[in-house]
Amino acid sequence: MKKITFLILFVLPYYLVAQSGTSVQLPWSQRMAASIMTTNADSIAYPNKMARWEYETGVLLQSLELVWYRTGDVRYFKYIQQNMDRFVRDDGTIRTYDLDHFNIDYVTPGRSLLMLYQQTLPNKEKYKKAADLLRQQLAKQPRTNEGGFWHKKIYPNQMWLDGLYMAEPFYAEYTRLFDRDGKGFTDIINQFVWMEQHARDSKTGLLYHGWDESRQQKWADPKTGKSPNFWSRSIGWYVMALVDVLDYIPADHPRRGELVAILQRLMPAVVKYQDPKEGCWYQVTDRGGDKNNYLEASGTAMFVYGLAKGVRLGYLPASMMSYAKKGYAGMLKNFISTDDAGLIHLEKTVSVSGLGGEPYRDGSYEYYLREPIRKDDLKGVGPFIMASVEMETAEELGIGKGKTVGVDTYFNHEFRKGTDPNQPEPFHYTWDDRQHSGFWLWGRTFRDLGAKTVLVPTAPTAASLKGVDVYIIVDPDTPKETAKPNYVNPADSKAIGDWVKAGGVLVLMANDTSNCEHTHFNQLAATFGLQFLPKNVNMVKGDQFEQGSVIIPAGNPIFTHTKEVYIKELSPLDVKAPAKSVVSAGDNVIMAVARVGNGTVFAVGDPWLYNEYTDGRKIPARYENFQAGKDLATWLLTQVK
């Protein structure tokens, strides 16, 4: 029965009806997510196998996390949490997990634990405790003489390319969150450096699948310890690990550039072996056209993901995007099938390839071609979804390219207890705050549109606003929130007014009268013909969400893909020239816009786009706050002169 429910929930939305009434096909990332969530509705497992704590689950859930960030659809979040809760007990122990196996594959699902711990959730400490357990494994994991992680306890003295993805992204994010000294970053960078040093082939520039420090394995070259062949998925794991770990290594870390340099060495070598006709990569990377070799889905997906993300974040030159596009088109042509129910499937993923073990895997060319191919193998599905998200994002990067969006943390300057008990952390409408109080999702939307997001922590001046294209001021503090609030003063208003006239785009977000300092904020607003009124509307009682409904009329110039949003307890606006209402409810002006000089001002009486009301977890799905946030972000960026 549950599978039927998921089928209804996910297959029917393959074609959405836009405001114009036309049908729009969902992106491939969402279609593949729908398929896998339908066929694995209760738990993630292959037919006739029990669900257990392992890396394939982690890879799939990581891909669904990216789709959640791109859509705000709570079904993805719930699916992730449901699958973590199958294993994580209230005391943080993990069902089916055994630390003493020292299997580095077990670390991969830890990324979902870290995501859940950063949300506003009851009993979330269990996710932190479970993540601590995985971090303990890494602390005790056997290592090579120089410090490289063994792939598994049963594979002594061996580093495999696969292991870099299995452990390092989790290790890097954990370090960013909880290890204030940051020493773990050096260890993480070393893992990549040592792996490249020991596995790189100087002739092709590719990386061999594994390296045996002891040179005792039959598959290992007696002089170098390298395995004998290049396996595309293993190189793909390493590539994905590189671009994901860089999300967490601090920009000012003295060795960050080493990881970027490795990526820049590796990807030109990888693209040389892209099939010129089909755009995909072969199971054995460098032997395209040889007997029995075949185009393989998971390695191709990983290379597309690494290329597209590397270009988006500036690690790789823009010219590399042509290989990602060709590879993605090749995937859709060669690997995607559709069944009678409308579900799509990923074909031609090799189920497994390893080294040593029982029966013994010798790493020969013939070995890699003997392993079975599996339909909808999670090691292909997860990377396909990730690659799809990157390719879908790439289509919109031009909207904000070269533009910077700054959120004020001077007028709104609140702190709470952080992960370090001795160091309070800033929160409330900041880009980094992933709890319900933050702008994390809206910030990601801006970045996915190609913009850069920054904080503006000082008073507005020509100098502090230099280089900022969109400036967002949210809910200025009262003494109730901050002991010594920074009130807007005439000098601030003049600096902001001059900046707007010169072409800046200003966003003013107030709050209801009991939670926002209106008096001084209104002195700034008056500069643009705006006033936040001393009354509250859309007062919502309990879960009577309809009391917070705001209808967006068809043809609205800002919210072009949004019909209805939820905004509660807001201050309506009084407007006069040059300001004009753009959204109203009865006699109340909800949102307004003013054109001043070369610039633009947008105003609304509530900070309604924070995570609590965009992540899909609090309000019913009929309210399109996430989409409205994207519409508004797009509009703001297009106003920049």
**Angstrom distance (rounded) from CA 334 to CA 455:** 45
Q: Which of 561, 548, 560, 640 is nearest to 590 (CA)?
A: 548
CA distances from 521 to 99, 415, 591, 595 (A): 55, 21, 16, 19
**Angstrom distance (rounded) from CA 316 to CA 267:** 8
User: Within a 13 Å sphere around the CA of 506, how many CA atoms are in the beta-carbon half?
Assistant: 32
Q: Identify the helix (H) or strand (E) that includes residue 452.
A: strand 452-456
**Which of 42, 85, 98, 162 is the catalytic position?**
162
Q: Which of 411, 426, 345, 413 is nearest to 378 (CA)?
A: 345
**Angstrom distance (rounded) from CA 637 to CA 641:** 9
Q: Which region holds residue 417: left if phi is over 0, alpha if psi is between -120 and 50, else beta? A: beta
Beta bridge partners of 595: 600
The torsion angles phi and psi of 449, rounded to 5 degrees, stand at -90, 5
CA quadruple 277, 281, 282, 288: dihedral positive or negative?
Answer: positive
Q: Which of 562, 603, 599 is nearest to 580 (CA)?
A: 603
**Angstrom distance (rounded) from CA 389 to CA 309:** 10
The torsion angles phi and psi of 515, rounded to 5 degrees, stand at -125, 10
DSSP string, 499-513: HHHTT-EEEEE---T
Q: Is 162 a catalytic residue?
A: yes
Length of the chain: 641
CA distances from 419 to 107, 130, 168 (A): 21, 16, 21
DSSP string, 577-612: TTEEEEEEETTEEEEEEEEETTEEEEEESS-TTSGG
Q: Identify the helix (H) or strand (E) that includes residue 70.
A: helix 55-71
In contact, 301 and 331? CB cutoff 8 Å: yes
Q: Identify the helix (H) or strand (E) that includes residue 211.
A: strand 210-212
Q: Identify the helix (H) or strand (E) that includes residue 337.
A: strand 336-338
DSSP letter at 303 equals: H
In contact, 260 and 247? CB cutoff 8 Å: no
What are the residue ranges of helices labelled H in 436-576?
440-448, 490-501, 518-526
3-state secondary structure of 212: strand
In contact, 274 and 281? CB cutoff 8 Å: yes
Beta bridge partners of 603: 508, 592
**Angstrom distance (rounded) from CA 623 to CA 559:** 13
Q: Which residue has the tokens 């994390």?
A: 440
**Angstrom distance (rounded) from CA 168 to CA 249:** 11
DSSP letter at 12 equals: G
Residues forming the active site:
162
